[in-house]
Amino acid sequence: MSEPTATKRPVTRGSKEAGPATDDEIAGRLRLAVLRLARRLRQQSPPGITPSQLSALSVIHVLGSLTIGELAAHENVQPPTISRIVDALEAAGWVERFADDTDRRVARVRATPQAERELARIRAERNAYLADRFDRLDPDERRALVAALPALEHLLREADG
């Protein structure tokens, strides 16, 4: 049985042809670029909140009130782990627990107004960081990045589906 071969496709940098590259090489470059950009954006977070806490808080903010089990499933962690994260967020005043309307034994969590304000500030700082970096690109690079956005968004939809 023969090994599958990677498809060769041209890779471009700016407007210049960079030569053929395999899908694996392209995937590796994309992975590295995305990971490094994500790391830089995480560095824009305020002190006192971990990436795990910020991720959980963002899910709560977007989806609204959730049970600990629902939040654990969204974050792909075990309930005891998410309980510790929620405990820390609650102690910092970022989330509050309340009883479910239909089953008073079930606790739900929601973001506090303080968290809403802080998340908006964090988003604004991260957007400003990216806007500054974007402004430093030459016009061809900016156009290429804007043109790539639909494909990147499609990759995320596929991963979330």
Range name among 23-32, 110-119, 136-145, 152-161 with the lowest pLDDT average? 152-161
Query: Contact at 8 Å (CB) between 74 and 52?
Result: no
What confidence tens digit (pLDDT) does each residue in 93-128 have? 999 999 988 888 888 999 999 999 989 988 898 899
Model-level pTM? Answer: 0.69
CB-CB neighbours of 71 under 10 Å:
24
Tokens of 95: 């989330």
Task: Spell out the CATH class of 51-118.
Answer: mainly alpha
Summarised one tens digit per residue, pLDDT across range 20-74 is 688 889 899 999 999 999 888 888 777 778 889 999 999 999 999 999 999 999 9
Tokens, residue 9: 């496709």
Q: Is the dihedral of CA 69, 72, 73, 74 positive or negative?
A: positive
Q: Are 79 and 72 in contact (CB under 8 A)?
A: yes
* Domain extent listing, the chain: 51-118
**Cα-Cα-Cα-Cα dihedral of 131, 136, 140, 144, to 10°?**
-40
Among the ranges given (21-25, 43-47, 78-82, 144-148), the one the predictor scored with the smallest mean pLDDT: 43-47
